[in-house]
A = this chain, B = another copy of it.
Amino acid sequence: MKLAYRMADPTGLCFGVKRAIAQLEQALANNEKVYCLGSPIHNPQEVARLAQKGLLVVSEVSEVPDGALAFVRAHGMAPRPLEELKARGVSVIDGTCPFVRVAQSRARELSEAGYHVLIAGDESHPEIVSIRGHVSGSVSVVSCSTELSDFAKIGRIGIVSQTTLPESTLAAIVAKAIGLASDVRVFNTICRATVERQRAVSELASKADGIVLIGGKNSANTRKLYQIATDQGCEVQWIEEASELERSWFQGRNTIGIAAGASTPDWLIEQFIHAIENQS
């Protein structure tokens, strides 16, 4: 029996990650080793595939040898470690997502204009680390509006957001910030791909009898899709690859929704669809 399924639309790889992986693949085609600070994509299966082609994931700048070739992933990097690499003769291929670059520039502009920069997002996420690194003045990172409760009044607050933040979270943070400063400037740096993918999952959750979500367990944007669907009372099976599928889960469900994180490569989605179309 074939299972009826419905894909979230749009879903899967976003423009920024697709672009970065293409750059990395090209670099790997022309070079034996390419160093990347942190995983180039929050998907273990894709990283394993790229590692076979010569990708070396390191966690510290010091692990990149002098004169080597380094790749800056879509999340971007703070200027200081990047300068350190260049000073040691490391060639750099910059895969920073253009939307993350906008957030970096806006944060720097706000700081230079005298604003206290407030970054809405997850403090430990590499994208936020990279954005924060572009601010030389005073800066704070908050992941939700309640974290602003302890803030004293500040003259001017300039806000940018993680590109994958739900718009409602940014809205709540901004709503709170206007009580803290008389001049609040907000650059909504959430990328459309994120907004559209979150909207698509929300729509799917209202129609399907359950959603299979394909994406790295270390992917923040996939976790947000998971939350959005479960918050609507939709059951979600979050898997990294087709082999994890619990087939019993499909019983009694008429229409299954399929969605994938913005860092889930197409081949993993195709592998999954192949698996469910050929299940006995």
State A186–B158 Cα separation when bound (angstroms).
10
- Cross-interface CB contact of A184 among B167, B181, B182, B186, cutoff 8 Å: B186
Residues of B within 8 A of A187 (CB): 182-183
Is A260 an interface residue when CB atoms closer than 8 A count as contact? no
Is A188 an interface residue when CB atoms closer than 8 A count as contact? yes
Say yes or no: B188 contacts A182, CB within 8 Å. yes
Say yes or no: B178 contacts A174, CB within 8 Å. yes
Is A24 an interface residue when CB atoms closer than 8 A count as contact? no
Residues of B within 8 A of A189 (CB): 182
Say yes or no: B171 contacts A179, CB within 8 Å. yes
Interface size class of A (residues with CB under 8 A): 10 to 19
- Cross-interface CB contact of A188 among B167, B172, B178, cutoff 8 Å: B178
State A175–B161 Cα separation when bound (angstroms).
14
Is A176 an interface residue when CB atoms closer than 8 A count as contact? yes
State A187–B177 Cα separation when bound (angstroms).
11
Taking the full assembly, how many copies of this chain does it contain? 2
Least CB distance from A67 to B in Å reads 40
Q: With a 10 A CB-CB cut-off, give which of A176, A178, A184 has the most chain B CB atoms.
A: A178
Is A259 an interface residue when CB atoms closer than 8 A count as contact? no
- Cross-interface CB contact of A185 among B170, B175, B186, cutoff 8 Å: B186
Residues of B within 8 A of A176 (CB): 171
Interface residues of A in 131-175 (CB under 8 A from B): 167, 170-172, 174-175
Residues of B within 8 A of A178 (CB): 167, 170-171, 174, 186, 188
Interface residues of A in 184-223 (CB under 8 A from B): 184-189
State A178–B171 Cα separation when bound (angstroms).
7
Question: Which A-B residue pairs are the 5 nearest by beta carbons?
Answer: A171-B175, A184-B186, A175-B175, A185-B185, A178-B188
Q: Can you pick out 20 interface pairs between chain A and chain B where the beta carbons lie within 8 Å of each other?
A: A171-B176, A171-B178, A171-B179, A172-B175, A174-B174, A174-B178, A174-B184, A175-B175, A179-B188, A181-B188, A182-B187, A182-B188, A182-B189, A183-B185, A183-B186, A183-B187, A183-B188, A184-B185, A184-B186, A185-B186
9 new A-B contacts at CB < 8 Å, known A182-B189, A184-B185, A184-B188: A167-B179, A171-B175, A171-B176, A179-B188, A182-B188, A183-B186, A183-B188, A185-B186, A186-B186
